[in-house]
Amino acid sequence: MDLACLISGPEHAPPLVLLHALGERATDWDVVAGPLSARRRVYAVDLRGHGDSAWPGEYSLELMRDDVLALLDGAGLDAVDLIGHSMGGVVAYLVAAAQPRRVRTLVLEDVPIPRPRPVVAPERPDGELEFDWAMVLAVRRQLDDPDPAWLDDLARITAPTLVIWGGPKSPMSADRVGELAQRIDGAELVTIDAGHLVHATRPADFVAAVAAFLDHPAP
């Protein structure tokens, strides 16, 4: 698997990995990557089936998890700060549960808890896409009906965790986001009233919350 990755920030600064939402790509983080890279070496990844990464035709959230772990190995990154938005947050908590020692801190931005949800058939947008539509169909099936083991595996996460919720305008309900935070030991829940696209809609507030957490994560 070839993964495209945008790298910024001081070469020897602590590494910070950014995982985008379904149908997005690494450049979705541009609005916050600059401020975050002031004190971090930022790696914004195109997940498989997205952007300039390979579109292999084989897709699952577990494969995306394994891709991220392989990226850490290939880049020689032992432990990283990890931020995931929406689907990217699911990949992030799968990484943190699978290999807890590899994640120093974890930030989950408006991320669904792994519980079944009502199925809404996705509609393919018109025109040329920057992602593989087959990937969307495969991943949506898993998001709608997750592996039940994922819920229990949240307890395996040892990294200090910040859960950011987009407030009442978010498609993520308060009770499900609250449960996600409760199932990760010691997780902190913060609300930024921005809807689902927190970092894009209120970038300054997002960066402030994340930077404060990264510098002083809860024990």
Sorted by where each begins, the domain ranges of the chain are: 5-215
Q: Are 158 and 100 in contact (CB under 8 A)?
A: yes
Per-residue pLDDT of the chain (219 residues; tens, 9 = 90+): 899 999 999 999 999 999 999 999 999 999 999 999 999 999 999 999 999 999 999 999 999 999 999 999 999 999 999 999 999 999 999 999 999 999 999 999 999 999 999 998 899 999 999 999 999 999 999 999 999 999 999 999 999 999 999 999 999 999 999 999 999 999 999 999 999 999 999 999 999 999 999 988 766
- Integer Cα distance of 154 and 103 in angstroms: 13
- Integer Cα distance of 75 and 39 in angstroms: 19
pTM over 0.95: yes
- Integer Cα distance of 63 and 59 in angstroms: 7
pLDDT tens digit sequence for 129-178: 999 999 999 999 999 999 999 999 999 999 999 999 999 999 999 999 99
In angstroms, how far is CA 87 from the centroid of its own chain?
Answer: 6
Q: Are 80 and 104 in contact (CB under 8 A)?
A: yes
> CATH for 5-215, among 3.40.605.10, 3.30.43.10, 3.40.50.450, 3.40.50.1820?
3.40.50.1820
- Integer Cα distance of 213 and 108 in angstroms: 12
Rounded to the nearest 5 percent, the helix, strand and coil shares of the chain are 40, 15, 40
Torsion of CA 195, 35, 161, 13, to 10 degrees: 160
Residue 164, phi then psi, degrees to nearest 5: -105, 125
**The two three-digit tokens of residue 116, written as one number:** 């079944």
CA distances from residue 86 to 32, 60, 189, 216 in whole angstroms, order as listed? 16, 15, 15, 24
Q: Is 111 exposed, middle or buried (0-12, 13-18, 19+ CB in 10 A)?
A: buried
